[in-house]
């Protein structure tokens, strides 16, 4: 059923393959929650049951953005079930919207010292260690997304020009400067970690047979595994992207420069990182006791 749902998203919604796979994976939790047999449960599904599952998800303490995505995917699945004849009525309309406001969250950079701890755990004598070091440097040195790392091809690396071609959201293609340290890490992995083991164009591959290209989920899993090995709080690649952005601002980069490196379409998206730029915020805040005593009296 989930495979058919995924194909329906590709056909009817023109979703990208990665998006369709993500929808199907997220909806699996709802399908598993339904009493067996699932087909019969769907035919008897009520609005009250849908709301019950939504309340259970909300009680898990998910971030508003994460819960919102879960509910969007549930609506799509219920629409699919209705249009494919698995349900007699369309219950997608009873799924509520999660209260969330765009750009209202505060970026959460990785704690000081955690990144160094990640690198310290790597065994650079092994193919996996070389691969993981290159991935971490792409995350911390260029702020790439997990999907962008998974989509890298050998031809995207400008060995002589010092550039890196990135395929971002919405089929956007950008050229970024390739820092020397990142370039050397990629070279060592391609020559000594990846070389001779695979024949495909993808840069990053799994290290356990059957060897296959590393997916975006694989990149996320790799970072979390390194966190566990390093004994630090477990986090994903996107927090390293937050750390890269806030670090750039802290060293004096302008919002426009950070926007270009992160490849944000709108400057207001980049501006969210100013919320944790303490150096610049303190310049905007007057000395409170002086200001208070001069303006307000009882």
What CATH number corresponds to the domain at position 208?
1.10.443.10
Closest by CA position to 26, among listed 63, 78, 73, 64: 73
Domain membership of residue 275 (yes or no) is yes
What pLDDT is attached to residue 254? 65
- Do 121 and 250 share a domain, yes or no? yes
- Do 200 and 153 share a domain, yes or no? yes
- Do 87 and 220 share a domain, yes or no? no
Lowest average pLDDT, out of 23-27, 125-129, 268-272, goes to 268-272
Lowest average pLDDT, out of 10-14, 117-121, 239-243, 271-275, goes to 271-275
Q: Among this protein's residues, is 273 annotated catalytic?
A: yes
Average pLDDT over residues 161-171: 83
Give the Å distances, CA to CA, from 271 to 77, 243, 257, 264.
34, 14, 12, 10
Domain membership of residue 102 (yes or no) is no
Q: Among this protein's residues, is 192 annotated catalytic?
A: no
Percent of all residues in the chain with a pLDDT value above 90, rounded to a whole number? 44
- Do 50 and 188 share a domain, yes or no? no
Lowest average pLDDT, out of 50-59, 263-272, 275-284, goes to 275-284
Q: Among this protein's residues, is 11 annotated catalytic?
A: no
What pLDDT is attached to residue 80? 95
| Residues 76/9, Cβ–Cβ less than 8 Å | yes
In order, the DSSP letters of 100-139 are --TT-S---PPPTTHHHHHHHT--TTSHHHHHHHHHHHHH
Domain membership of residue 249 (yes or no) is yes
Q: What DSSP character marks residue 191?
A: I
- Among candidate residues 43, 44, 97, 169, the one labeled active-site is 169
What pLDDT is attached to residue 131? 95
Q: Among this protein's residues, is 238 annotated catalytic?
A: yes
- Do 88 and 215 share a domain, yes or no? no
- Do 128 and 68 share a domain, yes or no? no
Q: Among this protein's residues, is 278 annotated catalytic?
A: no
- Among candidate residues 75, 131, 145, 242, the one labeled active-site is 145
* Residue 14, domain CATH: 1.10.150
Domain membership of residue 223 (yes or no) is yes
What pLDDT is attached to residue 35? 92
Average pLDDT over residues 223-238: 90
What pLDDT is attached to residue 270? 56
- Do 122 and 26 share a domain, yes or no? no
- Do 77 and 212 share a domain, yes or no? no
Q: Among this protein's residues, is 133 annotated catalytic?
A: no
Q: Which of 32, 61, 94 is the C-terminal boundary of a domain?
A: 94
- Among candidate residues 23, 80, 189, 273, the one labeled active-site is 273
Lowest average pLDDT, out of 27-31, 228-232, 278-282, goes to 278-282
Instruction: State how far the Cα of 49 lies from the Cα of 94, in Å rounded to an integer.
Output: 10
Average pLDDT over residues 253-279: 60
75, pLDDT greater than 60: yes
Higher model confidence: residue 14 or residue 224? 224
Domain membership of residue 106 (yes or no) is no
Domain membership of residue 291 (yes or no) is no
- Do 119 and 243 share a domain, yes or no? yes
Domain membership of residue 289 (yes or no) is no
110, pLDDT greater than 80: no
- Among candidate residues 26, 192, 238, 275, the one labeled active-site is 238
- Do 129 and 232 share a domain, yes or no? yes
Average pLDDT over residues 70-90: 93
- Among candidate residues 194, 241, 242, 263, the one labeled active-site is 241
Whole-model pTM over 0.75: no
> How many domains, the chain?
2
What pLDDT is attached to residue 175? 86
- Do 124 and 87 share a domain, yes or no? no
- Do 127 and 221 share a domain, yes or no? yes
31, pLDDT greater than 90: yes
Residue 36 structural domain: 2-94
pLDDT band per the 50, 70, 90 thresholds, residue 285: very low
54, pLDDT greater than 70: yes
Average pLDDT over residues 42-56: 93
Average pLDDT over residues 169-191: 87
Domain membership of residue 100 (yes or no) is no
């Amino acid at each position: 059923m989930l495979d058919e749902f995924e194909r329906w998203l590709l056909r009817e919604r023109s979703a990208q393959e990665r998006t369709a796979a993500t929808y199907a994976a997220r909806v699996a939790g709802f399908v598993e929650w339904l009493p067996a047999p699932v087909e019969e449960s769907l035919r008897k599904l009520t609005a009250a049951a849908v709301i019950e599952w939504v309340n259970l998800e909300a009680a898990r303490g998910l971030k508003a953005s994460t819960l919102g995505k879960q509910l969007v995917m549930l609506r799509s699945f219920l629409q699919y079930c209705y249009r494919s004849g698995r349900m007699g009525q369309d219950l997608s309309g009873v799924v509520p919207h999660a209260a969330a406001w765009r750009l209202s969250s505060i970026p959460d950079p990785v704690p000081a010292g955690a990144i160094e701890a990640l690198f310290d755990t790597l065994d650079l004598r092994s193919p996996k260690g070389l691969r993981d070091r290159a991935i971490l440097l792409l995350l911390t040195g260029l702020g790439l997304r997990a999907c962008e790392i998974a989509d890298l091809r050998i031809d995207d690396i400008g060995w002589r020009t010092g550039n890196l071609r990135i395929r971002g959201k919405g089929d956007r293609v950008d050229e970024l400067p390739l820092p020397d340290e990142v370039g050397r890490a990629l070279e060592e992995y391609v020559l000594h970690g990846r070389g001779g083991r695979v024949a495909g164009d993808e840069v990053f591959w799994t290290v356990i047979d059957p060897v296959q290209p590393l997916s975006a989920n694989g990149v996320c899993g790799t970072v979390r595994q390194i966190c566990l090995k390093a004994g630090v709080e477990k986090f994903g690649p996107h927090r390293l992207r937050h750390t890269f952005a806030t670090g750039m601002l802290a060293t004096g980069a302008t919002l426009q420069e950070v926007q270009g490196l992160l490849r944000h379409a709108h400057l207001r998206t980049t501006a969210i990182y100013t919320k944790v730029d303490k150096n610049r915020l303190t310049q905007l805040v007057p000395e409170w006791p002086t200001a208070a005593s001069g303006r307000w009296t009882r």
